[in-house]
């Protein structure tokens, strides 16, 4: 069972260094970020890979839970982190 629910569409953010797509969980504590560098080669041996990050909101800002090459494992990492946090808080979560 999924503890978190993410929106279908992402929010696009563009910085000087990268194009990013962000899916933030409905609760707002977890998010998945897809980041692609705007500079450098796109193909070939020296291409800069696309990065997917699972992130958690802490009192100091966003901290990276894990990094992935595809989106599915990043979403699953957020689900697993939320499940572990709820188990440590003493809440029962159906599996």
Edge-first strand order for the sheet with 61-68 is: 11-14, 18-24, 30-37, 51-58, 61-68
Q: Give me the pLDDT at residue 95, please.
A: 53
pTM of the model: 0.82
The arithmetic mean of pLDDT across residues 50-72, rounded, is 94
Q: pLDDT digits over 5-57, tens only?
A: 888 899 999 988 889 999 999 888 999 999 998 887 777 777 788 899 999 99
DSSP 47-89: PPPPEEEEEEEETTEEEEEEEESSHHHHHHHHHHHHHHHHHHT
């Amino acid at each position: 069972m999924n503890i978190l629910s993410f929106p279908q569409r992402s929010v696009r953010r563009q910085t000087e260094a990268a194009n990013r797509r962000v899916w933030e969980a409905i609760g707002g504590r977890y998010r998945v970020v897809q980041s692609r560098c705007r500079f450098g080669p796109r193909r070939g041996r020296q291409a800069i890979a696309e990065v997917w990050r699972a992130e958690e909101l802490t009192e100091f800002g966003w901290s990276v839970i894990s990094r992935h090459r595809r989106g599915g494992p990043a979403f699953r990492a957020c689900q697993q982190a939320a499940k572990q946090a709820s188990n440590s808080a003493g809440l029962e979560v159906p599996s």
